[in-house]
Amino acid sequence: MSDWQEISGGVTAPKGYRAAGIAAGLKPSGLPDLALILSKVEAIAAGVFTTSHVRAACVDYCRQRLQAKHSARAILCNAGQANAATGEQGWKDAIASAQLLGQELNISPNSILLASTGVIGQRIPMDALSAGIPNLVAAASETGSDAAAKAIVTTDLVTKSIALETTIDDRPVRIGGICKGSGMIHPNMATLLAFVTCDAAVSTSLWQQMLSRAADRSFNQITVDGDTSTNDTLIALANGQSRTAAITEMGEEAEKLEAMLTAVCQYMAKAIARDGEGATCLVEVQVTGAADDASARQIAKTIVGSSLVKSAIFGRDPNWGRIAAAAGRAGIPFEQEDLKIQLGDFLLMDKGQPLPFDRGAASAYLKQSAAGAYLKEDTVLISVSVGNGSGTGAAWGCDLSYDYVKINAEYTT
């Protein structure tokens, strides 16, 4: 059904983008910690940010920028310090960061968006940042996506990158993305960050609408531990360099672009869930039969976020009772007589009542799923139907293992 193909190149796959990632001495480890994504021309920019009332300075900064104008040339991201709970000084540091990069690029600081990830309460070392920016700009290249992807991670086990290509108006149109996150929140190392580039020409309001809807069907549907970060940021640029006709309203081409944008966001969201702290497998919950899509998504997210369901999957236990209980407490009314639960190909419950099933084989399915290759065959699929409605939705998460507790109990001690 997909109308696109996967290509290489990440955020530099679309036309007219360069990227870079360098070690500027912000992380104590000496690993890469400063990333840049740069569009050749001013690009339409849309953003989705954390809903937390405790937010990093960069989140407030981006919100202000995107309210003032819906476009940008560059995204600057530092890893190591979250610049959250840093008060007035943190805000000044954010402004100074944009000014430093603006001077080096010879563009207005108003065209620069910012993101930070790292320890909450720690300021960005501005001397190191200042010294690093000329090197960062010098390193920017049309093959720089991987370097940028490496420079935005914190405790992630792998970097996460994707690029897709489709045809619109008889010309190739591409969307690329990089992201980080190994938990919806990291302990002190806050955050989920995701950056998307696109070379289509699209109107500002439509691009923001598309991004918000894509986020609702991807990043907003993953959970590792139920904790929302102070720094969560998703920014998408569209610079029109594909030379396609501008897309200004919904229609066949807009739908094609939005579907591809959603696919890029879902790929990244799943990659983050799979890399969840202590995870041994990716868990996907698909819900059908709800009154509307939002209700289905709510039930899916509640199931995938249940500590009891997550523990059962870690224990390779086909525990349908926990899935039913989680569905029941999602806050979405349904008749329990309509509840149907499937794990992989095993039908565990139908018409609200448990069915006999081969427990050993179902447990083997869970074992096998977790032993599969990264992101390919290691998905545990839970399918739930709650009635005859047309609403469908999916959510992604991971299992709850001893390592999750270990990572989070021993993080700063």
List contacts with a copy of itself (CB under 8 A).
50-55, 85-87, 119-121, 185, 187-188, 190, 225-230, 305-308, 311-312, 314-317, 319-322, 324-330, 332-334, 336-337, 339, 349, 351-354, 363, 400-402, 404-406, 408-413
Looking at the Cβ atoms of 39 and 342, the one nearer to a copy of itself is 342
Q: By C-beta, is 132 or 305 nearer to a copy of itself? A: 305
- Name the one residue in this structure whose structure tokens are 């939005």: 258
Q: How far is the CB of 316 from a copy of itself (least distance, A)?
A: 7
Of residues 143 and 307, the one with the C-beta less far from a copy of itself: 307
188 or 392: CB nearest a copy of itself: 188
Our CB check for a copy of itself shows the closer of 13 and 84 to be 84
Q: Which tokens sit at 402? A: 């001893």
Residue 191 a catalytic site member: yes
Give me the least distance between CB of 122 and a copy of itself, in Å please: 9
- How far is 363 from 57, CA to CA, in rounded Å? 46
Q: Could you tell me how many residues make up the chain? A: 413
Q: Which residues contact 156 (CB under 8 A, 6 or more apart)?
A: 180, 181, 182, 275
Q: Smaller CB distance to a copy of itself: residue 251 or 333? A: 333
Degrees (nearest 5) of the Cα angle 301, 302, 303?
Answer: 90
Least Å from the CB of residue 311 to a copy of itself: 3
Tell me which residue of 50, 59, 18 sits closest to 35, measured CA to CA: 18
Least distance in angstroms from the C-beta of 313 to a copy of itself: 9
Closer residue to a copy of itself (CB): 111 or 116: 116
- Judged by beta carbon, residue 23 or residue 85, the one nearer a copy of itself is 85
Shortest Å distance, C-beta 56 to a copy of itself: 10
Cα–Cα distance between 8 and 141 in angstroms, integer? 15
CA distances 168 to 3, 30, 121, 147, 334, Å, are 10, 43, 45, 29, 41
> Least separation, in Å, of the C-beta of 348 and a copy of itself?
10
Catalytic-role residue among 159, 166, 191, 223 = 191
CB of 10 vs a copy of itself, minimal distance in Å: 29
| Shortest distance, position 135 Cβ to a copy of itself, whole Å | 30
Among 59, 98, 78, which Cα is nearest to 20's? Answer: 78
Closest CA to 2 of 165, 162, 160, 163: 165
φ, ψ for residue 379, nearest 5 deg: -95, 125
How many Cα atoms are found within 13 Å in the side-chain-facing hemisphere of 51? 7
Active site residues: 191
